[in-house]
Structure 1
């Protein structure tokens, strides 16, 4: 396992971090996962107050192993709020559940809107109790996680209030590349959220995608895309059982630039996208927004791109089903809400027939509504 400096926190953390949003079936299964992760060199555990019994299970497991406190790093997260006292209470609760005297990193969990950002920057900011806790030695560093539009992420980074950021960025979704660059310029640690699941459900890829990525797996290639990038500090790795830590553990010792064969696989993916979609390919410029019906047009069409080009229909249905069901965590309405008003059409540099493509996507991907794993 390789390690990278986590931005201005100066913590040398493993390039894979054990995330705990999913897979917490019971304390014993989590203990087995944690044991394997620690044996493999993972030294960073990431959780949140909202993740069910995650903090409690971590505390029990760490006590069971009796690991010296200096041998691992803990990150937990609290939702932003206009009430600073709520943050102070959550911090005390997390210290108790985790059974530690201090927590290395605290993130405000989901600065997803302009309103959330105001709660951070206002005079009576929800950061105040965390800044006080830093002075008292209860926490080390303050960061934030985000599912926000790029513009909100950039504004939050430019507050210069944070030492690290948890965000989405993958081979199949590179919209946040400017945020990764800005964070790197500001020496803010970059933690990539859910690269295998939100990055394309790459643990269960369709046959066409597997063939295009041969001799590598799609999961392997996405990991290499991220870890070959020196701007990226660490990737989240969630597992319900020890075996699910692979193939990440096999990639975690390779931070080298992309090799010739890996580049060839990425070139095949790009060529297939161009060839299959042709004139209907959305290049994700975001010029079509805003939509008067609040349809997240670029994301809807991205999911169509993936379904048509790579047969990633299952992933598309998974994400499309979250529209109108996940609030600010996944904003936007479904493609069938299009009224064909035509406002987006003159803004599209590729002259896409956006209304028809939205309807086509809805027919392809609409299924059962989806919600986030942990509701807040």
Structure 2
């Protein structure tokens, strides 16, 4: 296992971290998954109050058999509108985990301007107090929010690390990665395998394009070859899903000529397959009068058409109108063909037609989120 400095926290953490949202089948499954992670050299475990019984399961394992200094624990708490609520939430996590202190607390889901206003108007007072009383050692934030909000949150200079989405297949947050690196922050990439493309079960076309690497390994190499990135979440549902990081040889080295050739092939394939219908993800089409998340809808179409990532597209598309601020925006079927977006598109895409096509390709009935199942 390789380790990197987690920004100015100065913690040395493994380049693969155990994310605990998916190990919730039972306490025994959680215990076995945690034990396997530690055996592989993973020393960073991330949980959250919102992940069902995850904190309780982790706390039980910590109490029974893991020396406290052996692991770095991050838990996440949603931002609160006032200091009292935030203080109570921090104490709840400490109690569930059975810990005297939490290594890293992340404000979970700084996704809206309202969350941002809470942070700058009282919520953080409770965090500073928890740091002063040694309940918390380091503070960061996680986000599924828009890029401008992420950048504003980074520029508060309140935080030592950030948890965010960024993968080969979704590079919108590259400017946020750059700013966080400039500020010497730890950078934790969340869900690079699952929300990054359902890469545990890639389509055959994507497998062929990434050969001789597996798409899962290619994406990990794309990320960890970038020095600013500290660690990738491995959201294992069971111990066996932790074995793949061992197959990523030299994870932090620069990309090899073979890996660069894969990058080039993926780019050329998207260009050839999508042609003049390819959305470049500039976001100039927003805002949409019908609140359609046009760039994300068209990104899912890019992936489905370009790489046969249809199952991933369906998985994400059904979250529209079903996941609130965690995945905002309405489906393509809401388009009224008003034409408001058309003059703003630098590629002159027929956006209404592409939204309709995406809906026909990807629409399915919504399903419960993992912790609601």
Fold match by TM threshold 0.5:
yes
Residues 200-234 of structure 1: CA deviation (Å, up to 9, x unaligned): 00000011111111111110000000010111011
Deviates more, 1:88-97 or 1:153-162: 88-97
1:27 corresponding residue in structure 2: 27
Deviates more, 1:364-373 or 1:296-305: 364-373
1:84 corresponding residue in structure 2: 83
Quote the Cα distance in structure 2 between the aligned partners of 1:89 and 1:81. 10
Q: Is contact 2:74-2:103 (8 Å) kept?
A: yes
1:127 corresponding residue in structure 2: 124
Quote the Cα distance in structure 1 between the aligned partners of 2:158 and 2:138. 10
Unpaired runs of at least 5, structure 2: none
2:325 corresponding residue in structure 1: 328
Is 1:305 the counterpart of 2:302? The answer is yes
Unpaired runs of at least 5, structure 1: none
2:204 corresponding residue in structure 1: 207
Aligned with residue 228 of structure 2, among 226, 231, 234? 231
Residues 219-264 of structure 1: CA deviation (Å, up to 9, x unaligned): 0000000010111011111112211112123327521000011111
Q: How much has 1:370 moved relative to structure 2?
A: 3.8
Residues 262-320 of structure 1: CA deviation (Å, up to 9, x unaligned): 11111111111000000101111111111111111010000000000111000000000
Aligned with residue 369 of structure 1, among 360, 366, 371? 366
Q: Is contact 2:62-2:68 (8 Å) kept?
A: no
Tell me the TM-score normalized by structure 2: 0.98
Tell me the TM-score normalized by structure 1: 0.97
Quote the Cα distance in structure 2 between the aligned partners of 1:339 and 1:246. 48
Q: How much has 1:26 moved relative to structure 2?
A: 1.1
Runs of 4 or more, structure 1, over 6 Å off, are none
Quote the Cα distance in structure 2 between the aligned partners of 1:246 and 1:266. 24
Quote the Cα distance in structure 1 between the aligned partners of 2:367 and 2:161. 29
Quote the Cα distance in structure 2 between the aligned partners of 1:118 and 1:253. 42
Question: When the two structures are aligned, how many residues end up with a matched partner?
Answer: 372
